[in-house]
Chain A
Amino acid sequence: MNIFSIKGVEIEGIASCVPSNIVENRNCTDIYTKEDIEVVIKNTKIEQRRIVDSDVCASDLGYKAANYLLESLSVDKSEISGIVFLSQTPDYKIPFTSNILQHRLGLDNKCLCLDLNAGCNGFISGLGTSFSLMKSQKKGKILFIIAETMSKIVSKTDKATSVIFGDAASVLLLKNTDAENSSYFSNYSDGKLFETLIIPDGGYRNVFNKDSLENKEYEGGSIRNNTELYMDGFGVFVFTKKRVPICVAEINEYANYNVEDIDYFIFHQANDFLIQQFLKKLNIPQEKNLMNIDRFGNTSGVSIPLVITTELIDKKNRETVHCCGYGSGLAWGSAILNMKNTKILNLIEY
C-alpha cells in the first residue's frame, strides 16, 4: 500500500497549540558566534522557536488543542470512536499516551486508542492511518493528535540540532462524508539508513546504562550524550534532495495532477535551503509554497499541520493541498488533501 486514495472521509477541523515561551535563535550564542548564528538563520530561515517548560509534555499541548477543537466545533464527545496519538516524545514507555488522553478528554470507553511512533514524516503516515480507520467505520469520528517536544531530546550543545527544533501539537478531527472527492497518500521507507537520525540509548537494543549520560565531544565541537538526538545533517540532505522530488511527482501522477493543479504545497519545515531545492527541482512557484519555519523551526511531524493552521487558514483555495513529509527512518511520503470544508482554528498557546 505504497500509494492509495480514500474517498468518503474528510478533515472536519484542525487546531494547533504551541508553547508561549519564545526562544530567539539570535540569543543562542552559547555554542555559536554571532556571525555563525547569522549564517544558520540565513540558511535555515529559523529565527524563533517555541519551547515547553520542563513540566509540560507533548500530550499536554495535544490535550489543549484537542479540547479547543472539540469545543469550537461543538462535537458530541460520545461520537469519538478512536484516538490516534503520534509522537516520539510520549508521556511514558508504558502505558501508551492515547489511552491517557481518552480519559483526560472525557471520551467514551468505546474508543480505539492507538499510539504511533514516527518522526518528521509522521503527519503523512499518521493521517493516512487515521483516514483508513475512519473509512472502516460507518459512524463515529477519529481524532488524530500529533505532538512533539523535541526540546526534551535535543542537546543544547549540539550544533546540528540545538537551534533547529521546536515544540508543538496539532489535532485533526476526521469524519465520513458523502463528498465525491478523494484524498491521496503515499509512503516510502529506507530502514538501511536508520542511524541517520537516532537516539542510541534508552530502548532495548542499547538499554540505558551508566555511560548513557556521559557527554562526548564530536567533530565541529558539538557535545551530546547517548540519550540525545544525533542527526547526520548531510546524510539527511543528500537523501531527501534526491527522494522528495520523486515522491511529489509520483503521487501527483497517481492522482492525475500537475504542479499547476495544486493550490498549495506544504513541505515538512526542516530548513529553508532544502525546501528551496525542492521548489527548484519541481518548478513550484514561491507563491504556492507555504512556510512558517521562521517562527516555529522544525517541529518534527507537527510542522505540516502547524503550517496549515498559521498559513492556510486565510487562503481561499484549498481543494488540492499537497503535503510532503520526510525524516527519521528514513521515511518519506505525500498526501494530497481537499481542505475546502475544513474548519481551521486560530493558533493557541500553552
Chain B
Amino acid sequence: MKEQEFVKQFIEEIDTTANGIKIDTELKSIEEWDSMGIMLITSWMTDNFDVDIKIEEVKKMLTIKELFDKITTQ
C-alpha cells in the first residue's frame, strides 16, 4: 500500500473533516485523535493489516507516518 492510500483510509476511518492531512501530519493535531480515536485506529490496523500492535504502542506514535511504517515493516 502507498502512503497516499494509507492516509486516505486513515481519514475515512477516524472520520475527520480536517483539511490538509498528510503522511507527516502530527496525530495530536487531529481533533478526533483522542482515546476513542486511538482505539478505532488500533482496531483498524489490527483488522485490516494483520498487524500485532498494542494500544499503548499506538498512543506513543507521533505522526501518521509512524503508523504507516508499522504496517510496512511488519
Q: Are B42 and A234 in touch, CB under 8 angstroms?
A: yes
C-alpha spacing A237/B46, complex, angstroms: 12
Q: Which residues of B contact A242 (CB under 8 A)?
A: 43, 47
- Closest-by-CB residue of B relative to A242 is B47
The B contact surface, by secondary structure, is: helix
Residue B35 at the chain A interface, CB threshold 8 Å: yes
Distance of A241 Cα from B34 Cα, bound (Å): 18
Closest to B38 in A: A234
Q: Which residue of B lies closest to A271 (CB)?
A: B36
Among B11-70, those with CB < 8 Å from A are 15, 34-36, 39-40, 42-43, 46-47, 55
Which of chain A's residues have a CB closer than 8 A to the CB of B36?
43, 273
Of A43, A233, A238, the contact of B34 (CB 8 Å cutoff): A43
CB closest residue in chain B, given A239: B43
Establish whether residues B55 and A43, one from each chain, have CB atoms under 8 Å apart when the complex forms: no
Kindly identify which residue among A39, A43, A237, A280 contacts B43, using a CB–CB cutoff of 8 Å.
Answer: A237
Mask of A237-251 contacts with B, CB within 8 angstroms, 1/0: 110011000000000
Smallest CB separation, B56 vs chain A (Å):
8
Q: What is the distance, in angstroms, from B51's C-beta to the closest C-beta of chain A?
A: 12
A39's partner among B35, B42, B55 (CB-CB below 8 A) is: B35
Q: List A contacts of B15 (CB < 8 A).
A: 280
Contact A39 B39 (CB under 8 A): no
Is there contact, CB below 8 Å, between A241 and B35?
no
**Which has the most chain B C-beta neighbours within 10 Å: A43, A233, A238, A280?**
A238
* A238: nearest chain-B partner, CB-CB: B43
* Residue ID in chain A nearest B54 by CB atoms: A234
Residues of A within 8 A of B39 (CB): 233-234, 237
Contact A43 B35 (CB under 8 A): yes
Q: Please provide the chain A residues from 22 to 64 with a CB less than 8 Å away from any CB of chain B in the complex.
A: 39, 43
Judge whether B35 and A238 touch: CB under 8 Å: no
- A182 located at the interface, meaning its Cβ lies under 8 Å from any Cβ of chain B in the complex: no
- A233, A234, A242 — which one has the most chain B CB atoms within 10 A of its CB? A234
A55-94, CB < 8 A from B: none
Within the complex, what minimum Cβ distance (angstroms) separates A35 from chain B? 11
Compute how far the CA of A185 lies from the CA of B42 in the bound complex, rounded to whole angstroms: 32
A157 contacts chain B at the CB level, 8 A cutoff:
no
Which residues on B sit within 8 Å (CB–CB) of A237?
Answer: 39, 43
Please give me the residue from chain A that is nearest to B40 by CB atom: A277
Per the bound structure, the CA–CA distance linking A237 and B47 in Å amounts to 12
Chain B proximity of A149: nearest CB distance (Å): 28
A234 lies within 8 A of B55 (CB): yes
**Whole-angstrom CA separation of A280 from B43 in the bound complex:** 16
Contacts of A277 in B (CB 8 A): 40
B46 to chain A, nearest CB (A): 6
- Docked CA distance A237–B35 (Å): 12
**A78–B12 CA distance with the chains assembled, in angstroms:** 58
B10 to chain A: closest CB distance in Å? 15
Closest 7 A/B residue pairs (Cβ): A238-B43, A43-B36, A273-B36, A234-B55, A237-B39, A241-B43, A234-B39
B-side residues, CB < 8 A to A, are: 15, 34-36, 39-40, 42-43, 46-47, 55
Interface residues of A (CB under 8 A from B): 39, 43, 233-234, 237-238, 241-242, 273, 277, 280
Can you show 15 pairs from A to B with CB atoms below 8 A apart? A39-B34, A39-B35, A43-B34, A43-B35, A43-B36, A234-B39, A237-B39, A237-B43, A238-B42, A238-B43, A238-B47, A241-B43, A242-B47, A273-B36, A277-B40
13 further A-B pairs in the complex, CB-CB below 8 A; given A237-B43, A273-B36: A39-B35, A43-B34, A43-B35, A43-B36, A233-B39, A234-B39, A234-B42, A234-B43, A234-B55, A237-B39, A238-B47, A241-B43, A277-B40
